Amino acid sequence: MLLILLTVIILLWLVGFISIPTTSFLTSPFFYLNGRPIGLWDLIVFSVLIWVVSILPQPVKGGVILLLLLWILSLLGILVFSGMGSVLLLLLIVAVILHILGLV
């Protein structure tokens, strides 16, 4: 299950960087929160991140929850961290790989 989760995270990360014309509906806004558009893509990524956090072991889970809260605050424009989403996804990928290898 962790390998499937890791594959889903990497695919979501790559599809976020590659623009495919048939998936343009994913970026259209569903609603606005604090003046920022929130689309289907943001909701999918958020739900996968919540799924990852629920699977990780306790010491890693605390750090990931803190980074997730910082990412949400930067997404809403309250705190400004450029590239916070990419950093969070890379750390989650590394955490899942370490958990698969049994190092965490």
The domain ranges of the chain are: 2-101
Nearest 10 degrees: CA dihedral of 80, 69, 6, 82? Answer: 0
pTM over 0.95: no
Mean pLDDT of each 10-residue bin along the chain, 104 residues long = 75 68 74 83 81 80 82 76 71 79 78
- The pLDDT score that the predictor gives to residue 84 is 66
CB count, 10 Å around CB of 92?
A: 23
